Amino acid sequence: MACQILGNNSIGVAGAGCRRAGKGFYERSGWAQVDHRRPTDDERRTTDDDRPPTTDDRPPTTDDRRTTQEHTVDAQTIYVKLGGSLITDKTRPFTPREDVIRGLARELSEALDAQPGMRVLLGHGSGSFGHVVGRRYRVREGVHTPEGWLGYAHTAAAAARLNRIVVDIFLEEGLKVVSVPPSASAWCWDGELRHLETRPIRVLLEQGVIPVVYGDVALDEIRGGTIISTEDVFRYLARQPAPLRGRRILLLGEVDGVYTGDPHTDPHARRLPELSPEQALSLETLSGSHGIDVTGGMATKVRIMAELVRDIPGLEVDILSGARPGNLYRALTNPSLLLGTRIRRPDEPA
């Protein structure tokens, strides 16, 4: 779809479903046109005379902006990831769990009704869609041949297919969700996400819309192409200024937290209710994912989240089960509840 100017200070999307966007949205979203002409002498005089006195008239420096934006978290913004093992059957290719997805959509809807000011950035894994195809073509390792690029395209299509299922179900439940495919702007360096266009996500959050990102393919300076996880996307976005830098990240999967062993195979495995970033990074008992996961499974997810909590003051990460009915609602509406494993800095209040 193409973006199209529809009139004075209004935008729209070309196509049958177009509708005018009001001037207020255009200006609030930061897309209003800027007057680039030079001010006249009278305008300069008026501006100087009418300006209220201030103790510091210098323009804000980069350090000022970083202090006010980059070093603060937005208490209203919460990241929620629905794990691929939760919303698909990872042992059966291309098998969504639509009843689970719908139940989670309803819980999110109820939580937003209970907390109207809350902003949610939603993400989901690729499960038995993208991971199955990505493994077949070994896209994660790199893309350098015509066959590899065909696999890259098939992996992108598979991930987008699951995303369409998730978005459609959430829309059916009355949620304002918009898909934001990472592959449209992601750029990596040897498997590490280095760039992602963030402005659309920021504007959607500011308008009370839920952006939906997901594990996807990405172009790579060294590998040609690769695969990035939802956690990679969260890590990049969480390091941006507010409102993208949220207060909490919820990772929902089949298992209700981090365990001392693999709970699928070890009956004596014990859940760890709380971890510092250093404790999480030193764990040696974490295994890969139950089922196919080309992005590393639980060990990689915990490492990424622990590094984020270590580096960003005020951030907390909860790893919990989305298979338990009501868990998502409770986690969103009562942050003090420990429903799984929480990673947080020990020097911050619980």
- Mean pLDDT over 306-322 rounds to 95
More confident residue, 91 or 126: 126
- In 3D space, the residue among 263, 260, 255, 286 whose CA is nearest the CA of residue 272 turns out to be 260
Query: Is the confidence at residue 134, as pLDDT, over 60?
Result: yes
Average pLDDT, the chain: 82
Beta bridge partners of 226: 218
Residue positions counted in the chain: 350
Q: Model confidence at 90, in pLDDT bands (50, 70, 90)? A: confident
The whole-number average pLDDT for the span 41-45 is 48
The structure's pTM equals 0.77
Residue 50 lies in a domain: no
Count of domains forming the chain: 1
Mean pLDDT of the region 208-235:
97
How many CB atoms neighbour CB 300 within 10 A? 17
Per-residue confidence band for 38, with pLDDT thresholds at 50, 70 and 90: very low
Range of the domain at 241: 73-343
Q: Residue 153: inside a domain, yes or no?
A: yes
The residue type of 70 is: E
Name the helix (H) or strand (E) containing 177: strand 177-179
Q: Which one is predicted more confidently, 184 or 290?
A: 184
Query: Does residue 138 lie within any of the structural domains?
Result: yes
Q: Is residue 20 part of a domain?
A: no
- Average of pLDDT values for 34-50? 46
d(CA 211, CA 195): 18
Residue 27 lies inside a defined structural domain of this protein: no
46 in any annotated domain = no
- The CATH number of the domain holding residue 107 is 3.40.1160.10
Predicted local distance difference test score (pLDDT) of residue 296 = 53
Q: Is residue 200 assigned to a domain? A: yes
Among the ranges 41-45, 66-70, 268-272, which has the highest mean pLDDT value? 268-272
Domain-located, residue 332: yes
